[in-house]
Amino acid sequence: MSEALANLLNETRQFPPPAELAANANVTVDAYAEAAGDRLAFWAEQAGRLAWAKQWDQVLDWSNPPFAKWFVGGRLNVAYNCLDRHVEAGLGDRVAIHWEGEPGDTRTITYADLHRMTCQAANALTELGVTAGDRVAIYLPMVPEAAVAMLACARIGATHSVVFGGFSADALTNRIQDATAKVVITADGGYRRGKPSALKPTVDEAVANCPSVEHVLVVRRTGEEVAWTAKDLWWHQTVEQASTEHAAEPFDAEHPLFILYTSGTTARPKGILHTTGGYLTQVSYTAHAVFDLKPETDVYWCTADIGWVTGHSYIVYGPLANGATQVMYEGTPDTPHKGRFWEIVDKYQVSILYTAPTLIRTMMKWGDDIPAGFDLSSLRLLGSVGEPINPEAWMWYRQHVGGGELPVVDTWWQTETGAIMISPLPGVTETKPGSAMTPLPGIVADVVDDQGQSVPNGGGGYLVLREPWPSMLRTIWGDDNRFVETYWSRFEGMYFAGDGAKKDDDGHIWLLGRVDDVMLVSGHNISTTEVESALVSHPSVAEAAVVGATDPTTGQAIVAFAIPRGTTDTAGEAGEKLIAELRNHVAKTLGPIAKPRQILLVAELPKTRSGKIMRRLLRDVAENRSLGDVTTLQDSSVMELISSGMGGGKSDED
């Protein structure tokens, strides 16, 4: 029988936690045994970190899988847990959000401020007729009002559906219609790349086709002129005039908290539904455990947009439930200069940084001297999420951002899982660059073959979750069948994540990319991630994407697109030489089976708005097919560039 997924990359570096962090870590090694001994008791204990208005009767009802109920009969209010209880505990003056606008304007928002703002928004939404169970669409830039809008919905039991501010009118229309949202919360615009970038016209276009929408609340951010409709209301004339008093009413633990449409690169978006008690339990616990968050002293910064699940779970709900102080940044990492992130770390003395591999690889491309120009000594922990992090990008992060000594936690999870599932514990785990290591305490993950049999150490296959977890999606909004089919039908009794993975010789888990991207070369299933990591391990490569293109001899052949590091010479013969060197480098690192047929040196790669490489488009380029819909691309000129590189098959880096 052939292997489900080849295991080619062998990583031997390993880093123990810093002694001081280990000695003071929020979570110690005992948590694993405790959770393994009684998983439900473990999660009940974590739920106890929250304030419940009514205690649950049962931790988990799994009598009708895959439809789970967690903390059955319990009642709580999410906004109360994120705000009121901290204010009541005397922490009202603690900074909740250090907000930094892209133009450099700032706001300092304490827990008492955020509580007042949320109460006002809750009152205003109630005044507009929004009641528990109604849906509210949120389409905002990275301004504090985005968090306020989400918390206000949670406070009154309305279900929010945040739509990333970069999405088109069509995407917004589909999402508003699918959820039949009653109110839309937006802004005139936000700042991006040094200029105001309008949002309101997109909302106007969408709302014209959305009869469910009764009101549109508009935050004034840029001050640019906007068209006005009968449904529109200014935030500052409604919310900011409302009472700052609001009593939070508790809701059932299974009350819908939010819908978030997945950012998939193909197919109709799925409205992932998350509920109240289990979700808040797991995001709160994981922020505490994985980031070792010390709310009294840490300054935490997650660079994600609030429009993705990372922003929901690790900007809004996880950190605020823990009473953390965090930085929120409106803009792009290279405005007005490529050191903006490091300047922010220095300015706010950020101690915990959570970002994405795509950003880390971009920083590698820009050059080591940029982070070196700032004081990053406040940092004590680094996190990564969103894609597999190549071992060399991990090492760069540790070296050039972490001063060669900070722990890096590579956190695997999904919109669907709601919270972190597989990750090192920073005070416990001896990390390996590129591996998410082990499931967190209370999580049961595995790698299985085609038949759903657990693969032995050293084997590759499909990542599954064997037991329900508190922050799991409850369904796809309005489509239970699709929920069952997509996630619970591939393997009997297991959640199928859609990711390839392997267990190394120690049983540690390595994520190998989406199974749809796996390449079949001469009968071997080869992961895109492993070949990309081999390319990135060459000192001249910052980022790479590989795809399988139809090939008459091998079935599929590996075609690679590589972005050279800052100073690499790729003109003329130097480019040809580098390409030959890279092909040999991959063959040497992974074996001759993984040697790319072709390598193209490029300046950019096509990515989704959340930063994931769009391999489907690259496959089309590699096979010289037409490009189809590229409207979701970050920059469509990228594609022109890449396809023009096909002609001579050599460098177009200049």
Number of residues lying near ligand WT7 (CB under 6 A): 22
Residue 468 interacts with ligand WT7 (CB under 6 A): yes or no: no
Residues with Cβ within 8 Å of 37's Cβ and at least 6 positions away in sequence, in order, are none
Residue closer to ligand WT7 by CB (options 262, 475) is 262
Residue closer to ligand WT7 by CB (options 191, 491) is 491
CB of 438 to ligand WT7, least distance (A): 13
Identify which of 392, 365, 372 has the alpha carbon closest to the alpha carbon of residue 566. Answer: 365
Residue closer to ligand WT7 by CB (options 130, 419) is 419
386 vs 139: CA distance, rounded Å: 22
Residue 410 interacts with ligand WT7 (CB under 6 A): yes or no: yes
CB of 389 to ligand WT7, least distance (A): 6
CB of 433 to ligand WT7, least distance (A): 12
289 vs 409: CA distance, rounded Å: 11
581 vs 578: CA distance, rounded Å: 5
Distance of CA 347 to the CA centre of its chain: 25
Site string for ligand WT7, 52-91 (x = CB under 6 A): ----------------------------------------
Residue 499 interacts with ligand WT7 (CB under 6 A): yes or no: yes
Sign of CA dihedral 446, 447, 451, 455: negative
Residue closer to ligand WT7 by CB (options 199, 421) is 421
CB of 261 to ligand WT7, least distance (A): 10
Q: How many CB atoms lie within 10 A of CB 572?
A: 11
Identify which of 457, 422, 455, 426 has the alpha carbon closest to the alpha carbon of residue 439. Answer: 422
594 SS3 class = helix
CB of 164 to ligand WT7, least distance (A): 11
Residue closer to ligand WT7 by CB (options 381, 600) is 381
Residue 610 interacts with ligand WT7 (CB under 6 A): yes or no: yes
Q: Of the listed pieces 134-142, 248-256, 480-488, 497-505, which binds ligand WT7 according to CB under 6 A?
A: 497-505
Q: Of the listed pieces 101-109, 148-156, 412-420, 579-587, which binds ligand WT7 according to CB under 6 A?
A: 412-420
CB of 119 to ligand WT7, least distance (A): 30
Site string for ligand WT7, 243-272 (x = CB under 6 A): -------------------xx---------
Residue closer to ligand WT7 by CB (options 528, 651) is 528
444 vs 596: CA distance, rounded Å: 36
Give the residue, chosen from 22, 309, 562, 578, that forms a contact with ligand WT7 under the rule CB under 6 A: 309
14 forms bridges with which residues in the sheet? Answer: none
CB of 487 to ligand WT7, least distance (A): 11
Give the residue, chosen from 411, 475, 527, 528, that forms a contact with ligand WT7 under the rule CB under 6 A: 411
Residue 514 interacts with ligand WT7 (CB under 6 A): yes or no: yes
Q: How many residues does the chain have?
A: 654
Tokens found for residue 208: 């014209």
Q: Is 478 left (phi over 0), alpha (psi -120 to 50) or beta?
A: left
Residue closer to ligand WT7 by CB (options 310, 431) is 310
80 SS3 class = helix
Residues with Cβ within 8 Å of 12's Cβ and at least 6 positions away in sequence, in order, are none
Residues with Cβ within 8 Å of 584's Cβ and at least 6 positions away in sequence, in order, are 595
Which amino acid is it at 364? M
Is residue 437 a contact partner of residue 419, using CB atoms and an 8 Å limit? no
Give the residue, chosen from 331, 386, 391, 470, that forms a contact with ligand WT7 under the rule CB under 6 A: 386
CB of 290 to ligand WT7, least distance (A): 11
CB of 132 to ligand WT7, least distance (A): 27
Identify which of 289, 410, 349 has the alpha carbon closest to the alpha carbon of residue 11. Answer: 410
Give the residue, chosen from 164, 329, 413, 491, that forms a contact with ligand WT7 under the rule CB under 6 A: 413
Residue 528 phi, psi (nearest 5): -60, -40
Q: Which of the residues 568 through 607 are near ligand WT7 (CB under 6 A)?
A: none
Q: Of the listed pieces 384-392, 438-446, 590-598, 640-648, which binds ligand WT7 according to CB under 6 A?
A: 384-392
Exposed/middle/buried for 108, CB within 10 Å: 0-12, 13-18, 19+?
exposed
Tell me the C-alpha to C-alpha distance, in Å, between residue 605 and each of 9, 101, 545, 608, 623: 23, 27, 8, 10, 16
Residues with Cβ within 8 Å of 25's Cβ and at least 6 positions away in sequence, in order, are 17, 292, 425, 426, 427, 428
Residue 385 interacts with ligand WT7 (CB under 6 A): yes or no: yes
Identify which of 560, 564, 553 has the alpha carbon closest to the alpha carbon of residue 621. Answer: 560
Residue 497 interacts with ligand WT7 (CB under 6 A): yes or no: yes
CB of 585 to ligand WT7, least distance (A): 23
Identify which of 578, 560, 582 has the alpha carbon closest to the alpha carbon of residue 568. Answer: 578
Residue closer to ligand WT7 by CB (options 326, 415) is 415
Residue 388 interacts with ligand WT7 (CB under 6 A): yes or no: yes
Residue 101 interacts with ligand WT7 (CB under 6 A): yes or no: no
Q: Of the listed pieces 35-43, 130-138, 409-417, 540-548, which binds ligand WT7 according to CB under 6 A?
A: 409-417
Is residue 345 a contact partner of residue 301, using CB atoms and an 8 Å limit? yes
| Residues found near ligand WT7 in the complex (CB under 6 A) | 262-263, 308-310, 385-388, 410-415, 436, 497-499, 511, 514, 610
